[in-house]
Each structure stands twice: as C-alpha cells, then as structure tokens.
Amino acid sequence: MNRMGMIDRGVTYLFLTVLGLLLAAPFVYMISMALSSDATSAQLTFTFIPREFEFGNFVRVFTSRLNFGRFLWNSLILVFFAVIGQVFVSSLVAYAFARLRAPGKEVIFILLLSTLMIPAEVTLIPQFVLFSKLGWVNTLLPIIVPNFFGGAYNIFLLRQFITRIPVELDEAAQIDGLNYFGIYARIIVPLIFPALVAVAIFTFVWNWGAFFGPLIYINDVEKMPLALGVQILSATNSAGQIPPWNLVMVGALILTVPMILVYFFGQRFMDQFSLTGGSVGVK
C-alpha cells in the first residue's frame, strides 16, 4: 500500500472513531446516571464519566413498589410470541407467493404490498373498536396476535429471498416424495435461515421497545411492558419533586441493552442476509 493510501485509510479510521465516540456519548452518560447515588440524582449533579458506582440501583429498581420485574416479564412474553408469529407466518406466506401456483396470486401480492402505504393512524380507530368488541383491550393480545398474520414487509423480504433459490431443488424433493410443507420445512427454511434471523431481529427490536400500542390498549399497570414501565418510573413523583433519574436510567439500560446484544450476536446472520440477497428487486 502506498503512502497516500495509508493516509486515506488513517483519516477514514480517525473520522469513524470520532463519529463512533459521539454516537456512544449518550449511552455512556446514561450509564453514569444509572450508577449515581440518590443524592446526586436529587441534585442533578451527574458527570459524563462515572464517579459513583451504585450497582445496588439495579437491584432497587426490581424491589420498588412498581414491580419492574413484571414489566420485564410482560416484554419477554410480548417479544417471544411476536418473533415466533412473524417468523413462522411471514416465511410460510412468502413461500406460498414464491412457489405455489394460484389464480390471482400476483394481484393478491400487489394488494399486500399496497398495505405498506397505509398509515397506521388510519386503521388505529377501527382496530381499537375491533379489539374492544373481542374483549382484548387491557391485554397484550392486540399487540401479539397481529404478528400471527405476518407483516407485508417481512413477507416481501422473504419472498424475494426464496425466489433466488433454484426451483430444481423443489422438483428433486418432490421426486423424493416431499409435499409442499415438507419442502418448506426441510429445504426452504434452512436455506433462508439468515433472512429469518433478520426478520426475528427486526421484530424483536420493534416489539421490545413498543410504546404506542401498549399505551393505547393497556390500562392496568401490572400488564404493561418495559417501555411503558420506564415512562411510569420517570413520572412516579409528587408535584414539585425530581424523578429518581438514576433508577429511570437503570430502566432505560434494561430496555436498551437487550436490543444491542440481539443485534450484536445476530450481526453474522445479518451480514449473510445482506450478502446473499437481502437487497433485491421484485422478480
């Protein structure tokens, strides 16, 4: 590598390092606030670099009267069923659109994609009325159940991935006696595994930090997920009092760190997804 190339690379790494530090600064400050004492929190004398290490805050937030552990459990239930529903149903519907022959299939697929252009606010009131008639208000069902109908974006993504798999594999499997579901389970799913992980990560991040949906449908504090729990924690103070920002930041860390870890451990599959056809056009 010549001298100019080394200088260009050094400048690029320096720029990316500075940019990364700037982007990480709010997260570092949040950690410093989470490790602060009650006195520091009451006086709002936080520092960017932690000077206190009150690790007991991470225990206190679960022993407070709000039962923060319940918020965490509700979020775990929500994301578990949401990920299962989206991954299974979206992949199954995508397989049908990519492989099965049916009259009007292309028209149905276009109608499916057209739903992406409908703002969520347009269907908010009809959905609320529907779930109210079903008796699902004040439960997690209005947030969980729609995932078992798939998502238009995820179906499109997986369909485009499946169309890149040679049809000859399906024909060979049919000769061996596999039916359509057997082909899906034993051939398609293993080959699109990176795409399925990508869909799972997208679904996890979206539902783990869900705020607006639970705010609309859930009234009982005991049934609220983590995002609403953090908001309630920041508001649990009498008039004129300062919220316990150290405990609020502990809750914010609990809300943020799992999303970072999921992406970190799933990055390898995300890279495979990008390299093997994550960004493709309509066939």
Q: What is the pLDDT of residues 185-219, one digit of tens each?
A: 999 999 999 899 989 999 999 999 889 999 999 99
pLDDT of residue 283: 35
209 occurs within a structural domain: yes
Q: Which two tokens stand for residue 81?
A: 């069923």
Domain boundary among 44, 60, 76: 60
Tell me, yes or no, whether 281 lies in a domain: no
| 11: helix, strand or coil | helix
- What is the per-residue pLDDT for 110? 92
Residue among 75, 72, 77, 89 at smallest CA distance from 199: 89
Within this chain, do residues 164 and 25 fall inside the same structural domain, yes or no?
Answer: no
Q: Which of 41, 60, 79 is the last residue of a domain?
A: 60
The whole-number pLDDT of residue 279 equals 42
Range of the domain at 114: 65-275
Average pLDDT, the chain: 87
Of 60, 78, 97, the last residue of a domain is 60
Residues 21, 115: one domain? no
**Model-level pTM?**
0.84
Q: Is 51 in the same domain as 94?
A: no
Q: Are residues 29 and 159 in the same domain?
A: no
Angle at the Cα of 149 (from 145 to 153), degrees rounded to 5? 120
CA 62/CA 72 separation, integer angstroms:
10
Rounded-to-integer distance, Cα 2 and Cα 44, Å: 52
CATH number of 248's domain: 1.10.3720.10
pLDDT digits (tens, 9 = 90+) for 227-249: 998 888 887 655 557 788 888 89
Query: Does residue 103 register a pLDDT over 50?
Result: yes
Same domain, 166 and 127: yes
Confidence of residue 97 (pLDDT cuts 50, 70, 90): very high
Asked if residue 182 is part of any domain, the answer here is yes
**Mean per-residue pLDDT, 124-137:** 93
Is 132 part of any domain?
A: yes
Say if residue 15 is in the same domain as residue 144.
no
Contacts of 156 (CB under 8 A, 6+ apart): 94, 112, 113
When divided into structural domains, the chain yields a total of: 2
Task: Give me the pLDDT at residue 281, please.
Answer: 37
Query: How far apart are the C-alpha atoms of 61 and 266, rounded to whole Å?
Result: 29
Give the separation between CA 211 and CA 231, rounded to whole angstroms: 9
Contact 143, 210 (CB under 8 A): yes
Residue 125: inside a domain, yes or no?
yes
User: ∠ CA 229-215-240 to the nearest 5 degrees?
Assistant: 55
Residue 45: pLDDT band (50, 70, 90) is confident
Q: Tell me whether residue 283 is in a domain.
A: no
